[in-house]
Chains A and B, each alone.
Chain A
Amino acid sequence: MIHDKSLGRKLFHTFNYTFLLLTSLLCVLPFINLLAVSFSGSAAVSAGEVVFWPVDFTTSAYEFALEGGEFIRSLWISVQRVLLGTIVNLLLMVLTAYPLSKTKDKVAGRNLYMTFFVITMLFNGGLIPSYLIVVETGLIDSIWSLILPGALPVFSMIILMNFLRGLPEEIEESATIDGAGPMQILVRILLPLLKPALATVGLFSIVGHWNSWFDGIIYMNNPSNYPLQSYLQTLLLSFEQLMMRAGRDYTQLLAMLNVRTGRAAQLFLAAIPIMLIYPFLQKYFTSGLVLGSVKG
């Protein structure tokens, strides 16, 4: 390429790469710090000596994090939640996005349904009414209380709908001529075409389910049923909050000191699964998002 050699281009590249490098460092360095803390001795951490390399190297934090089985147990609950939740989300999204992608001539009441869904996107009932519904429907203290209240992510559904609208109508018409009904068209023709969009919204669902913690704390009646992020949140109380809760109970403060590095270890462990999934779904990510919105 010709313009590669011009001075301006070189300057631009240098500047560009430096900028991007710095930005990515900003994202990576906290993780490296966390990793260093998790492998360091507790006293060195509170003296602020640990930056990017462990001081007084020890793996005791990881032993602490994994002992007692609470971490593993809540990890397993989180995995169940992500699997179940994502499947339910994808199923409902496809089933709603398809009819809604049609015009109102073809699907009676289409605009009414659409308004109905969009309203839930803009407003929500608030904490107490949501809680009451979960209690009244008997979902409380079961894993379904984490999945059903958000069973249809409307935003993702709209992305899917726009993606569907972007597909040439002729594809469906030809299938109809061959005698396929709406269900067959959806399963055999549209689903395979939807893959990049499904990967995108699927990733939204996975990350959403993996990261949410508040519903776990509210709807579960026993900490042994907490998903991973709810469990981690309980470990992350600040020292002052802990003081208030303990009512100046000093033995608990002592226990705190030993968990500080343990928390870093648990945070790091908890971030691993998402870090592993992301690169593999990322390639669909941008294409799916852009295709959905621009061609709509």
Chain B
Amino acid sequence: MKKKFIAIVMACCLIALTACSKGGNNEATTPSADPGQAVNESGEVDYAFGKYDEPVTIHTVRAEYASAQFPEGDDMTNNVWTRAYKERFNIEVVTDWVTDEYDTKLNLAISSNELPDVFHVNAAQLQQLIEADMIMDMTEVFDKYASDRVKGYMEADRSSYESGMRDGKLYGIPQLHWGFIDQPDFVWIRNDWKEALGLPDPQSIDDVKNIALKFMEAYGGYGMAVDQTLDYLNALAIAWDAHPDLWIKGDDGKIVYGSVQPEMKDALAAWAEWFKLGIIDPEFPVKDFSAMNSNVVAGKVGIQPYWQWWGYNPGVDVVTNLGKEAVFYPYKIKKADGSDATQSIFFANGVYTVVNKKSKHPEAAVKLLNFYAYMLDEGVAHESPETVSAFIDKDIAHVTGAFKIINPNTDYEQFSRVSEALKSGDTSAFTTSGMWQKYNNSVEFMKNGTPAATGDYLQQGSPKNAYGLSKEIIDNKQYIETALWGAPPEELSDYGSTLDDILTEGFTKIIMGAESIDYFDTVVSNWRTAGGDAATEAVNELYGSK
């Protein structure tokens, strides 16, 4: 009897607990057919920016953005952007959840069918959602409501735009990127050492090798900092016309994987020789990113193949630790004959904005995208500096989640104007707060050598800067784009990292001299039988016709 009583008490407790907690948050959006919108000066309905007559509510979800510094009282769900949505568009944006594990949480929401109206997804999730028929065909809505500016973005990077389509219908609006200008890689060389030894700029990949040997002679240690993933060493592979990790369209129209092409063998042979000479860090197979950088920051090594953002990390620490003179400068990667290497350009659009099929107001999402583009690109011209600053600075520009779209020419335009202004001292052409930031930090570094300004200075302001070289590469089209412009085929993701691991492991053995260079053919055939062939076929099937 008593046992039964306990059981009943327990059951009641459970029910009470359940009732205490919040209920589901998936109530339907306010239904209202074709809501009225404000008109523009000429009396036509202003689709792109018109304010709704009736309030419209849309639900969204967000990824936490920890480095945003909100003013007191604001947070991810309530901030200057969400208030502007309400004031300027009469759109109430309700955030269902904010999370640090966006992909996991979104996948759970997808499988439990609890999707909000508007949200952002990666390329693979986009394909799944199209497959499952859960998101809306935005083709017409986008055509009608997108501002000319936003449509211009899509024209500027048409291949990313098309990656959001299936069968000619637009499902995911790509949020785009800062531009290809941020993709070329360089070899970074410590300047005070180079000058002390009176060495000229490297004119070929062999010069890089010789500079490394000179550095080792004068300063000891090894010559070049690289890590265990080989990502940084691989950046140099283009000097031998190899394009590791890139899917390339061959002359016969078939897509092949760059890491397993014969050119890669030449690169590996050269690196094995470098390793023997002691140029490559003898401990590289056990060094991760921060271990690789620690000797750079400690001033023990003077050459590093790296992306254009060397100045931000490890650059800031290098200047803090070793002083302003110890900065590394970027140099173009050149082939043995002295000509410029062809750079690899990877798929750049990571994120798409999508709209739930059940949403009543798909156009609201497009309006808010228009607003984002307006604020970032035109804000300085039309709004007060304080307003623009409130929307953009202190990383507030990045908290908008699904309502974000980036001008793919941002960095290119920014660099052009900043470098002009640094030459002439005339800042009147600045249109974005980003330009001011890069300009001010470059000036700051030149004057005071402030470590925190190193990144902007080496990217755009220094006499030898990364974007200056990138701009030449982009202007002269010295690059090839990946043939895999969009989500990888399922077959490829199925293999996970196994395929890459086979290559990294085999290449590491060759570089360290544990295996001869002929081992390359064995590695490649291992890769092919482990699934490389199947993956190549799948890539060709999906992207071969484009």
Contact = CB atoms under 8 A, between A and B. Distances in A.
A216 to B, nearest CB: 10
Interface in B97-153: 97-101, 104-105, 108, 111-112, 114
Interface stretch (A21-29, A137-145, A188-196): A137-145
Interface in B63-112: 63-64, 66-67, 75, 77, 96-101, 104-105, 108, 111-112
A138 B112 contact: no
B313 A142 contact: no
Given A48-B294, A128-B111, A43 B320 contact: yes
Interface string B309-348: 1001110110011000000000000000000000000000
Nearest to B19: A138
A42 B320 contact: yes
Interface stretch (B20-28, B184-192, B374-382): B20-28
Nearest to A137: B18
A149 B281 CA distance: 50
A150 interface: no
B317 A46 contact: yes
B3 A99 contact: yes
A7 interface: no
A220 B104 CA distance: 13
A131 B97 CA distance: 15
A47 B23 contact: no
A255 B67 contact: yes
A254 B98 contact: no
A223 B313 contact: no
B309 A253 contact: yes
Nearest to B7: A95
Contacts of B45: none
A46 B297 contact: yes
A234 B67 CA distance: 12
B24 A47 contact: no
B312 A254 contact: yes
A278 B134 CA distance: 50
Contact of B66 (A142, A234, A238, A249): A234
A47 B452 contact: no
B20 A182 contact: no
Interface string B10-23: 00001001111111
Contact of A138 (B22, B101, B309, B456): B22
Nearest to B66: A234
A232 B2 CA distance: 45
A70 to B, nearest CB: 9
Contact of A135 (B17, B67, B114, B314): B114
Contacts of B351: 247
Interface of A is mostly: helix
A217 B320 CA distance: 36
Contact of B314 (A46, A218, A247): A46
A254 B321 contact: no
Nearest to A92: B10
A256 interface: yes
Contact of B289 (A220, A240, A251, A252): A240
Interface residues of B, number: 60
Contact of B455 (A128, A148, A250): A250
Contacts of B17: 139, 144, 148
A217 B100 contact: yes
A95 B108 CA distance: 34
A247 to B, nearest CB: 6
A271 interface: no
Given A42-B317, A131-B112, A218-B108, A140 B22 contact: yes
A248 interface: yes
Contacts of B196: none
Contact of A142 (B22, B112, B178, B320): B22
A127 interface: yes
B6 interface: yes
A46 B290 contact: yes
A277 interface: no
Contacts of A181: 2
Contacts of A49: 298
Contacts of A256: 67, 313
Nearest to B316: A257
A234 B64 contact: yes
A44 interface: yes
Interface of A: 42-44, 46-49, 95, 99, 127-128, 131-132, 135, 137-142, 144-145, 148, 181-183, 217-218, 220-224, 226, 230, 233-235, 238-240, 244-257
Given A46-B317, A144-B20, 20 more contacts: A43-B451, A46-B321, A48-B298, A138-B19, A138-B22, A139-B18, A141-B22, A141-B97, A142-B20, A144-B21, A183-B2, A217-B99, A224-B75, A235-B66, A247-B351, A250-B459, A252-B395, A252-B398, A253-B455, A257-B317
Interface of B: 2-3, 6, 14, 17-25, 63-64, 66-67, 75, 77, 96-101, 104-105, 108, 111-112, 114, 177-178, 182, 289-291, 293-295, 297-299, 309, 312-314, 316-317, 320-321, 350-351, 395, 398, 451-452, 455-456, 459
19 contacts: A47-B321, A48-B294, A131-B112, A138-B23, A139-B17, A139-B21, A140-B24, A142-B20, A148-B17, A217-B100, A218-B104, A230-B100, A233-B100, A234-B66, A248-B177, A248-B178, A250-B312, A254-B312, A257-B313
